[in-house]
Structure 1
Amino acid sequence: MKINTVAVIGTGFIGTVHVESIRRTGVSVKGVLSGSAESTKRGAENLSVSTQYKSVQEICSDKDVTVVHVTSPNALHYPQVKELMAAGKHVICEKPLALTAKEGIDLVNLADKTGLVNATCFNTRFYPMVHEARSLVKSDLIGVPRYIKGHYHQDWLTLETDWNWRLEAEQAGELRAVADIGSHLIDQIGFVSGLEISEVMAELHTLVKTRQKPTGPVQTFTIDTSSKRESVKMSSDDAAGVLIRFTNGARATISISQISSGRKNSINWEISGPDGSLAFDSENPEQLWIGHRGKANELLQRDLSMLSPSAAKISFYPGGHIEGFSETFRGLFERVYADIESESRSATYPTFADGVRSLQITDAIAESSQKSSWVKVKR
């Protein structure tokens, strides 16, 4: 099936990233839809997009649109994706796929029934050195992974005056830091290690007890200078600590925070096996650290001549020409689009099933924090 054009729902920070990355695949973005006519108009003009949709129904009825990217607030994902797939549209949805695992399973069943291509946007898998780490684990370089440590730290919600729709449960859901960024870290760890999580022990922290909410909307990763604010009590997680047990007996310790000053977008993990360790840092994405017990450690630089086929396929520039965040979206989108055009399934990207698994894990994390006990992850 030839991809005619794409529509994008949401024109905020991540919606803009989607539009720019879609264009880099060579596919045309026909139109956008945002939360209001005003924001849709502004988004379309800023992104040089021709069509300003008025509703999801209008996108559904547009025969020129083959694929829809859903980047709206979390609470809208489930109803929008369900409506789009019922209309025959292939969908790439930002995480979380839905607010509950039950809703996510409903979307998986709908995708299976319709046969439509579907993806959950765990884009951070698509750093080339993350794929390289996965290939090295599969080649048994470090042996079977047995201990993992990691963090995903940001600082953009450190101050009580920092505000975003993600702080509002009715739009984002009850979980915040864990669902918003912790899900990416957990997905990366599972993708690279090949391990399956069986149980979690977690503690969620609301450390900014009260925030000053602006009276108008605030874009993600921006500072609002409005003098008109209202005091709002907070209950969602600013940070979390999670202990993880895997089905093979391996263990992990991870930290998640959106209030760590100086950490702009730091995904960092280290995976250890009996024969070595691998470490990656998203703020230095061109390198993969390889640790040894009995010889000098190694630092592998991204270079097409030295990468596995999987990693080389998502490296778009020669070594030394820095790639980063935006290329991860391009790598994901190209694989999804290839499946749509070939009418096949390559299993090279995260689908709705991966989105559901993430929801099951984050649900268990929330339950564990509430009960102060280990909780098994449902399947």
Structure 2
Amino acid sequence: MSDAGRTTDFASIGAAVIGTGFIGTVHVQALRRLGVQVRGVLGSSAERGAARAAQIGVAHAYTDLDELLADPSVDVVHVTSPNHAHYAQVKAILGAGKHVICEKPLAMTSTESAEMVEIARASGKVAAVCYNIRFYPLNQQAHGMVAAGELGEIRFVTGHYHQDWLAKPTDWNWRLQSEMGGALRSVGDIGTHWIDLTSFITGLKAEAVMAELATFLPERQRPTGPVETFSSAAGTTEPVTVDTDDAAMIVLRYEGGARGVMSTSQINTGRKNSLQWDIAGAKASAAWDSETPDHLFLGHRDAPNQMLMRDFTLMNAQGTAAASLPPGHVEGFADSFFNFFRAVYADVHAGARQPASTWATFEDGHYEMQLCDAVLISAREGRWARLDENPGKGRT
């Protein structure tokens, strides 16, 4: 039975959210829609947490992580803090016997993520990585089509993830700081979304990569005060040298012989949030763009091409299970979180991940971190880098 088809008492489950910025707020809103009880939030400081809790209507703001973990009414903790905090926070959450949903990327290095995988396995708790883009219904549809052999053997996977929110020297966010976001920025932030999504749809994993990284804005103006994601800075600034990638070009060699090409960019003017993939199989092809999420292109050689609109009367079981709105009522970014959380919380209610579940595991998050390490090795040494190389080499 699909996640959406299982009867679940979501109101009996309590959750807390670490992080009160843009994504933390998205998590809170989706949980409320689902009916999960949001017990409280934890901000970067007690003062900021309390102020933000009041703004978004959450009754309680925890003063620190220890207080949150001691709350017996919290069953699941959502981690939406900066990347450098994920490792320690997730370990503490699982150690406290609570389920966890961690924003991507899972960790700063594959060494950290490998340990997190083992801790999650030993805990027996549900441990998910927030690759919400899997849960646009037509991505689930495409996953089902590939699994059913409708595209044939996968040969070539291409696409990009492009944004423009860091296109100006005055644009600033904590992700620009490698000590907080990691050595990779556009690749780690949005590139891992593309890697996870295309691997989920095709069932393919990369075995090696060839990569080039580019920093088009090596100096930026950092505000002296905090800046929320996707918002404009205000007030005084100071010049700061940037050592993370504005954009990247990556060639992928998959196990079994398929090939892939993808690019990432956070400086492509006019591209607000465009994740595109195009998957070419021996029988047919399919393509999708996150800026037009309710349409799936289906390409044929000996028949007319098709455009499938998200419509549960026409979709396969996987696509239908992820859909929450009627045909013609566009399901967008916020809906993907709702669909994702609905699937994860159904498994929380069941006590463990179920065989038919399609959300990203810590093993998936570890794979993305291995790929990031390989990208760094390739970019620095100008060669193909395998994912099974020394996991720490790319991070030095």
Band the TM-score falls in, shorter-chain normalisation: over 0.9
AA in 2 matched with 1:167 = L
Which residue of structure 2 aligns with residue 345 of structure 1? Answer: 353
Q: 1:375 matched to which residue of 2?
A: 385
Give 1:207 deviation, angstroms: 0.7
Which residue does the alignment assign to 1:335? Answer: 343
Alignment of 1:53-64 (within 5 A): 53-64=62-73
Matched, 1:286 2:288: no
* Cα offset, 1:242, TM superposition: 0.2
Q: Which runs of 4+ in 1 moved over 3 A?
A: 1-4
CA distance in 2, matches of 1:197, 1:119: 21
Q: What SS does structure 1 have at the residue aligned with 2:154? A: coil
Mapping for residues 69-108 of structure 1, pairs under 5 Å = 69-108=78-117
Deviation per residue, 1:211-239 (Å, 9 max, x gap): 0111111000001132x111111110000
TM-score where L is the length of structure 2: 0.94
Question: 1: CA distance between counterparts of 2:352 and 2:122?
Answer: 15
SS in 2 for 1:305: coil
Tell me the SS of whatever aligns to 1:267. strand
CA–CA distance in structure 2, aligned partners of residues 131 and 184 of structure 1: 15
User: One-letter code of the match for 2:331?
Assistant: E
What's the counterpart of residue 51 of structure 2? 42
CA distance in 1, matches of 2:288, 2:86: 31
The CA deviation at 1:344 is 3.0
Q: How does 1:34-183 map to 2 (within 5 A)?
A: 34-183=43-192
2:197 partner amino acid = Q
| Contact 2:247-2:265 within 8 A present in 1 as well | yes
Q: How many residues are paired up? A: 378
1:279 aligned counterpart, secondary structure: strand
C-alpha distance in structure 1 between counterparts of 2:151 and 2:262, whole Å: 20
- Provide TM-score, normalisation by structure 1: 0.98
Cα distance, 1:352 vs structure 2: 0.9
Structure 2 unaligned regions, length at least 5: 1-7, 390-396
- The match for 1:323 is 331
Query: Equivalent of 1:243, from 237, 251, 260?
Result: 251
Distance 2:200 2:37 in 1: 30
**One-letter amino acid of the counterpart of residue 340, structure 1:** V
Once superposed, what is the RMSD of the aligned Cα atoms?
A: 1.2
| Residue aligned with 1:253, SS | strand
- The one-letter code sitting in structure 1 at the alignment partner of 2:112 is E
Worse-matched range after superposition: 43-52 or 63-72: 43-52
Write the distance in 1 (CA, Å) between the matches of 2:13 and 2:261. 45
Q: Which amino acid aligns with 1:365?
A: V
Say which SS state the counterpart of residue 236 (structure 1) adopts: coil
3-state DSSP of counterpart to 2:328: coil
Alignment equivalent of 2:260, drawn from 252, 265, 279:
252
Percent identity between matched residues is: 46
In 2, Cα distance between the equivalents of 1:86 and 1:142?
43
Q: Give, in whole Å, the separation in 2 of the partners of 1:374 and 1:316.
A: 42
Extract unaligned runs of 5+ from structure 1: none
Q: Does 1:307 align with 2:315?
A: yes
